[in-house]
Amino acid sequence: METKRLPRVYSAARPTGRQHIGNYLGAIQNYVKLQESFQSIYAIADVHALTTVETTQGLKENCLEMALDWFAAGIEPEKSIVFLQSNVPQVMELHTYLSMVVAIGKLTDLPTFKEKVRMHPQNVNYGLLGYPVLMSADILLFKADFVPVGIDQAPHLEFAREIVRSFNFRYQTKVLIEPQMKATATPKIIGTDGVNKMSKSLDNDIELAADEKTTEKRVRSMVTDTNRVMRTDPGNPDICNVYAFHKTFSPAELCAEIDRECRVAGIGCVDCKKKLAANLNAALAPLRERRAELAKNPARVWEILHDGAQRASLIADDTIRDVRDAIGLAQA
């Protein structure tokens, strides 16, 4: 039986390599903040990555790149447990137990599954269908109270909560606990196309650790208020993605100035983007410096992940023991 413990936070993300500003504002920033007041556990979901990749070439490298961004952003191994999902295999066992309380129709109905089928019609595998079950197992294995994720993950989190209810009802137990979502103030960052969620696969992203010139180029390519065709046309900051970024990365006085001047065509989009790129580069400079320093010693990063897996395993073992017990499996 567990004694009273600090409330726990758990989140994971597939190893997509270098992280973008959407990942940062939607998730990582929250990871960093929450580690101050919660027991925080963050995983690099390399097993989930297998559901869509055709080759694992580059997978290890992507894990490292992602870890570098996380640590550079301020996740501290002294405060948070950070590990690779495949290194704590207890999650696979919990996934199997949970799969018995999930109706297949529920999985095929999920919009995220339909979207993945559309994107990977040649590779609709069993793992892809079970993706949300594995994700639930991830969260429930650590008995997380809160899960910091972007708004796109809300259906998956609701799914995890339903699994808890089904499992606890089936086995008349309280062993699994329903996690709550913790969104940031910016749970959905729009990409440079001005329409879709920022995402590496849509090539509408701005990498956190890009160099200054690349950042300027990406910002220059951002779609603004599409009704503003000529420099002399007044713009509408309320529907402009560049302005949305200013609100996060620029001081309040500049935001007020742009808001005012854009509406009367006093400032053009080119200048507005130049100011944004400068502020973005300034805001990300410390993170980029820390990353460059960490990247000199990849062995240290692997060591931190190894240590994280050991610590995560201890918690996972406890849950698995409780779960087997609740199900009524014999310990011969």
Q: Which stretch binds ligand AMP (CB under 6 A): 57-65, 89-97, 100-108, 195-203?
A: 195-203
Three-state DSSP at 228 gives coil
H or E element at residue 322: helix 298-327
Q: Which stretch binds ligand AMP (CB under 6 A): 8-16, 34-42, 291-299, 313-321?
A: 8-16
Q: Compare residues 51 and 250 and give the one whose CB is closer to ligand AMP.
A: 51
259 in Cβ contact with 243 (< 8 Å): yes
* CA trace torsion 39, 290, 18, 141 (10° rounding): -10
Cβ 223 to ligand AMP shortest distance, Å: 15
- The Cα–Cα gap between 155 and 100 comes to 20
Q: Compare residues 115 and 293 and give the one whose CB is closer to ligand AMP.
A: 115
Q: Which of 18, 197, 263, 290 binds ligand AMP (CB under 6 A)?
A: 197
Residue nearest to ligand AMP (CB): 26
Q: Is 22 in the site for ligand AMP (CB under 6 A)?
A: yes
Q: Compare residues 228 and 246 and give the one whose CB is closer to ligand AMP.
A: 246
81 in Cβ contact with 41 (< 8 Å): yes
Q: Is 15 in the site for ligand AMP (CB under 6 A)?
A: no
Q: Which residue type does 300 have?
A: R
Cβ 241 to ligand AMP shortest distance, Å: 11
Considering only residues 199 to 218 of the shown chain, the ones binding ligand AMP according to CB under 6 A are 199
* The two three-digit tokens of residue 7, written as one number: 């409330």
Q: Is 17 in the site for ligand AMP (CB under 6 A)?
A: no
Q: Which of 49, 68, 189, 269 binds ligand AMP (CB under 6 A)?
A: 189
CB crowding 117-151: b at 16 or more within 10 Å, else e: eeeeeeeeeebbbbbbbbbbbbbbbbbbbbbbbbe
Q: Is 325 in the site for ligand AMP (CB under 6 A)?
A: no
Strands, sheet with 39-44, edge to edge from the N-terminal-most edge strand: 80-84, 39-44, 8-13, 146-148, 180-182
Q: Is 263 in the site for ligand AMP (CB under 6 A)?
A: no
The single residue listed with the structure tokens 């944004």 is 276
Cβ 198 to ligand AMP shortest distance, Å: 4
Q: Is 315 in the site for ligand AMP (CB under 6 A)?
A: no
The single residue listed with the structure tokens 């010693």 is 297
Q: Is 187 in the site for ligand AMP (CB under 6 A)?
A: yes
Binding footprint of ligand AMP, residue count (CB under 6 A)? 17
196 in Cβ contact with 147 (< 8 Å): no
Cβ 260 to ligand AMP shortest distance, Å: 28
Q: Compare residues 168 and 194 and give the one whose CB is closer to ligand AMP.
A: 194
Q: Is 18 in the site for ligand AMP (CB under 6 A)?
A: no
Q: Is 27 in the site for ligand AMP (CB under 6 A)?
A: yes
294 in Cβ contact with 68 (< 8 Å): yes
Q: Which stretch binds ligand AMP (CB under 6 A): 85-93, 145-153, 271-279, 300-308?
A: 145-153
Cβ 171 to ligand AMP shortest distance, Å: 30
* The two three-digit tokens of residue 285, written as one number: 């400079």
- The Cα–Cα gap between 161 and 145 comes to 11
* Residue 12 φ/ψ, nearest 5 degrees: -145, 160
Q: Is 149 in the site for ligand AMP (CB under 6 A)?
A: yes
- The Cα–Cα gap between 126 and 109 comes to 15
Q: Which of 8, 9, 14, 259 binds ligand AMP (CB under 6 A)?
A: 14
Q: Is 277 in the site for ligand AMP (CB under 6 A)?
A: no
